[in-house]
Amino acid sequence: MHRTIADQTEAELGGRGSVLVRQRRDHVDLDHLLERCAATDGDEQLGVLNRIYRLVFSHAFAEEAVLWPALRRSVPDGEALTLRVEQEHQEINDLVTRLERARPGDPGREALLGEVVDLLRRDVRDEEDLLLPRLQEHLDPAALRRLGRSWELVRRIAPTRPHPVVSRRPPGNVLSALPLSLVDRSRDALDGVGRRWPRPLGGAASATSAALAEVAGAIERLPGMRRGERPATRRGDDAVAG
């Protein structure tokens, strides 16, 4: 039985810069945001969801680009372990893509949001109770801190929106990082203007964000963006259409 990282001290996890400490810190922030999301509605909830997306998708991208490859190299059953979480990440991408198309008050939106929240919490538990303790067993504190620096660097430049078609593994996800991050972070800013400002400025910002969403969809389908994908997480155009 592996000891969860949830109840270990910072020193036990390898020190402040350890990737385990950084991961757990993001998980705590996510929990607070999910609680706030449940207590809000309307435009305020959309703002909280936008913060959740920025945290969740940059965090997951850094895992898939840096952390899970390290786990596959270090842990004998790392392939099966990481594939399990990649499947959860793919499902989160699919669900959030659907949720972004819905508006507050739409039929079925609350049930869809509940699915997203439940899956996010399950993903955290799988990481803290299963994957990260296994990584801890095979890497010393210095290696965990080096991995933490790489993870943090990638997280700061990672996409912040769901991208169901892009590969969950290198090299496809690495190739897609810069263009999708530029589009996503522009959309984050535009959506903030759209929520805070009345028309015509707010309406123009929201319309521009919607246009950039189409650009992101086109980038996802460029040659090379799906390279490295496993069949269990592969999505075709039909799976994310409409």
Q: What is the pLDDT of residues 200-216, one digit of tens each?
A: 999 999 999 999 999 99
* pLDDT given at position 241: 34
Low-confidence ranges of the chain (pLDDT < 70): 1, 236-242
* pLDDT given at position 236: 58
Distance CA 191, CA 53 (A): 12
* pLDDT given at position 43: 86
* pLDDT given at position 197: 87
* pLDDT given at position 105: 87
* pLDDT given at position 239: 42
106 class by beta-carbon count within 10 Å (0-12 exposed, 13-18 middle, 19+ buried): exposed
